[in-house]
Chains A and B, each alone.
Chain A
Amino acid sequence: MRIGIVCPYSWDVPGGVQFHVRDLAQHLIGRGHEVSVLAPADEDTELPPYVVSAGRAVPVPYNGSVARINFGFLSAARVRRWVHDGDFDVLHIHEPASPSLALLACWAAQGPIVGTFHTSNPRSRGMIAAYPILQSALEKISARIAVSEYARRTLVEHLGGDAVVIPNGVDVGFFERARPRAEWQGGTLGFIGRIDEPRKGLPVLIAALPKILRELPDTRLLVAGRGDEKEAVAGLPKEMRERVEFLGMVTDEAKAELLSSVDVYVAPNTGGESFGIILVEAMSAGAPVLASDLDAFAQVLDGGEAGQLFTSEDADDLAAKAVDLLRDPARRAELRDRARRHVQRFDWSTVGADILSVYETVTQGAASVAEDERAGLWSRLGLARD
């Protein structure tokens, strides 16, 4: 199958959607399909052979933050050319509701289009105003995929319609194969994520730490991620600060090793998550997971069957649950065992097959993807330049 994938976010900036698109493209190529990815990228970035640059994304204030966006005549022309030259059987657009490359692609193409909705932004006034514009573009998507039941619910509430749920994929085997490092073992808690992003929840974990250390003084907290390390532990008593070790940014291999070493992986996120890929990675590596009870997390953890949940933003509850887990090797082994069985559904072999089923469902009997001749007012008036 010839598959065109549109990634709306810059290829040179690390992020969940980018990683997902990269892994999906590689998985599909591994299965013998022809894949081309269109993504924004700086001119001097080195791109894998399957990625086509859509030019540099421009930072623009949008919806309360700065978004890096491709728009305008040149970008639109590039998208059209890519659609035209690619002659795809199916077009897979990620995050189609964002005002970017994804929307441009929706606008420029017709035929079998699949859209994956990753984040679930709360409804804003700007969104409501943009609704008619968005709707006419989103109407072209023949199949919608949401990454979780939670993302699907918000999608249905905001845009109407329906979607199938296919989770994000993880290379389970890669994490399973990782071997623990001795220096990271022995009463350790793990945390991976941006240190200075409050929604990742490190402050909640730091607030819970004194209580945990009172019960189990030998506990160590290992933190991997970017951010100001001094500021992060500023709230802790001096003698406790040395119980927190910062590892900085880690490679994928080190991340897998860290996850397979720790006694408990803690995900104290306070919101803004629509999936929780890190939980799946932790479960794959065999780390018992303790996570806040966000909708998305509860779903990934099979409603608390495959991991322990605590009340979100409640440091006392976190501390109590963490102490219980650290003291109870049998419970940890049980969670590990259940998690190992549960993660199979997130493995690329399963997720990739499901995504291919969607492609096959929408392409059955349909013509291939083509430029949408009706896209522009200019072409309607017969003024289009070729």
Chain B
Amino acid sequence: MDFPLSLVWIAVALFLIGVYLSWTAGRLDRLHTRIDASRAALDAQLLRRASVTQELAVSGLLDPAAAMVLHQAAHAARQAEEDQREVAESELSQALRAVFEEPEQIEALRRAPGGDESVGELAEAARRVPMARRFHNDAVRAARALRRHRKVRLFRLAGHAPFPLAFEMDDEPPTALTERVAR
């Protein structure tokens, strides 16, 4: 049978390209899943931080001025629309830093009944927000790097998934809160 060899080669090449593209699409799909998961984790940590702050504010353990500042910032962070979220969360970080700047404030809070527990919860929450945000932005960066690639754009491997955006905010926790000195 007379079958041109070049046709076979073209078929093989097309097949290999197909496998490669499908593998790349799989990679991208996995990255998008990772972004969804890390974003959910970040949301959970932010919400947790705002809730703990709000609880502290209404607990009566703080002076009224500090309580009002914290309550307002935590409330704003929880109610913020998606496009205002980064600003509101940053303002909550700033409010926390302003209130808990002095180690004395934290010591006083710790001595109050139930205070030690609340401080522990807040420290935990303030520590986990930057963690979750780094993991999320790391996933976003990996996905963006791949999506900018020619093959992905040309063959529209990303489908209709929105271009991933990093979550930018000021998440610096109050130093006095995260400093775990020997007690």
A residues sitting closer than 8 Å to B (CB atoms) are 110, 112, 135-136, 139-140, 142-144, 160-164, 340-341, 344-345, 350, 354, 357-358, 360-362, 364-366, 374, 377, 380-381
Contact = CB atoms under 8 A, between A and B. Distances in A.
A380 B141 contact: no
B134 interface: yes
Contacts of B22: 380
A374 B26 CA distance: 8
Given A139-B31, A140-B30, A365-B37, A163 B131 contact: no
Interface of B: 19, 22-23, 26-27, 30-31, 34, 37-38, 40-41, 44-45, 124, 127-128, 130-132, 134-135, 137-139, 141-142, 145-146, 180-182
Closest CB pairs A-B (n = 9)? A161-B138, A143-B135, A344-B182, A162-B134, A162-B138, A364-B41, A139-B142, A374-B26, A361-B132
A162 B131 contact: no
B41 A365 contact: yes
B134 A164 contact: yes
B127 A357 contact: yes
Contacts of A140: 30, 34
Given A341-B182, A365-B40, A139 B134 contact: no
Given A139-B31, A357-B124, A362-B135, A161 B141 contact: yes
Main secondary structure of the interface of B (DSSP, over half): helix
A360 B41 CA distance: 9
26 contacts: A112-B37, A140-B34, A142-B34, A142-B37, A142-B38, A142-B139, A162-B141, A163-B134, A164-B130, A164-B135, A340-B182, A341-B181, A344-B181, A345-B180, A350-B180, A357-B131, A358-B131, A360-B128, A361-B45, A361-B128, A361-B131, A361-B132, A364-B41, A365-B37, A374-B26, A377-B19
A381 B41 CA distance: 35
Contacts of B127: 354, 357
A112 to B, nearest CB: 8
Contacts of B131: 143, 164, 357-358, 361
A162 B145 contact: no
Contacts of A136: 27
Contacts of A364: 40-41, 44
A112 B30 CA distance: 12
A204 to B, nearest CB: 34
A55 to B, nearest CB: 28
Given A350-B180, A361-B132, A144 B138 contact: yes
